[in-house]
Amino acid sequence: MNEDFIDPKIAEVNEFQNWLSNQVTDTGASLNDKTVKQKVNALKEIERHFEAAIFGESDIEQLKLLKDIVVSDDSYKKYKGVSGSSIDYYIRFIESKPTVQENENFTMDDFLSAVFIDKKELVRLISLLENKKNLILKGAPGVGKTFIAKSLAYVMMEEKDETRIHMVQFHQSYSYEDFIEGFRPKAEGDGFELKQGPFVKFARKAARDPERDYFFVIDEINRGNMSKIFGELMMLIEADKRGEQINLLYSNEKFSVPSNLYIIGMMNTADRSLALLDYALRRRFSFFEIKPAFYNNKFKSYVNQLNNPEALICVIDEIKSLNNQIAEELGTGFQIGHSYFVGDVS
């Protein structure tokens, strides 16, 4: 207000220092003031000695390259013991920063105009997700589960903000080390290093931005061994356990799942090779079945607006008849979805 100039670098240093004071050591203890000051001073000294920018640098690969240079430089002695870990902490600080930008608004009307679901079903979807925090969209192939998941996130955020959505796909080889944290070979091939998985990174990003909702989307969620992948975090994803802390397996760092992080999974019900989800997992998720939209009025309107829709209507009538037979003999989960007959709508 008095028109004093605020140095962006000083502001960045102060923000990083405050962030550090909320971090914990491998034993779960908070970093003390001496350790915080030491790490901040180490980064300042690295900037001076190597004439390289750290505070304000957002290129993570550049920071990792600088770390390799610092730890391999035998002539650099000051703060040598903490230099590498200090840069690691700053990288985590950058990764946890929420990205704020202007985004296109997305209303309930936008959802209803793009997705072949009526308002009553949408309200139920939102209610289920807000209540449980975790939702699984199940259905036959081609019913638009992925599109609906992202659109549901948009309508709850009230804008199209891709930075608050993270998507992964499970498979039979997906593990705790891929999802939460684990040791991975170093890029240069010299030993292993502990790396955070996408869920931990994204959850910590959400925790730093508690006023806005974040969405972690898991495609083919029933292809992975959920109990193995989530490990000790299976408890923390429950709605009434959000915010509670637990020590991670490898780093022993304190970790919690924030209440503003929602998990949306997609499950293909036509894949009989997959084991059913166990009851411990089922009670942590709400389930919503997405059905083919051939009888939906909006889908009919979409088809009628196409050029020469008569041929497509004949094919769709045959598919509807086929779906009735499939439902009788195999079940609704094996039906043919409407997305095969839609362009870029669903």
Distance, CA of 229 to CA of 116 (rounded, Å): 33
- Summarised one tens digit per residue, pLDDT across range 152-186 is 999 999 999 998 999 999 988 999 999 999 988 87
What percent of the chain clears pLDDT 90, i.e. is strictly above it? 33
Q: How far is CA 308 from the centre of its chain?
A: 42
CA distances from 224 to 138, 244, 269 (A): 15, 25, 14
Tell me the CATH class for 108-290: alpha beta
- Summarised one tens digit per residue, pLDDT across range 221-244 is 888 888 889 888 888 999 999 999
Distance, CA of 262 to CA of 203 (rounded, Å): 10
Give yes or no for a contact between 263 and 233, defined as CB atoms under 8 angstroms apart: no
Closest alpha carbon to 137 in 262, 295, 296, 2: 262
Q: How confident is residue 273, by pLDDT bands cut at 50, 70 and 90?
A: very low
Closest alpha carbon to 165 in 200, 202, 137: 202
pLDDT at res. 111: 94
Sign of the CA dihedral 32, 253, 192, 13?
A: negative
Distance, CA of 313 to CA of 298 (rounded, Å): 14
Q: How far is CA 89 from the centre of its chain?
A: 21
Q: H/E element holding 105? A: none
Q: How confident is residue 314, by pLDDT bands cut at 50, 70 and 90?
A: confident
- Summarised one tens digit per residue, pLDDT across range 16-26 is 998 888 886 65
pTM listed for this prediction = 0.72
Residue 168, beta-bridge partner list: 218
Give yes or no for a contact between 346 and 139, defined as CB atoms under 8 angstroms apart: no
What phi and psi, each to the nearest 5 degrees, are found at residue 281?
-80, -40
Coil, strand or helix at 24: strand
pLDDT at res. 99: 61
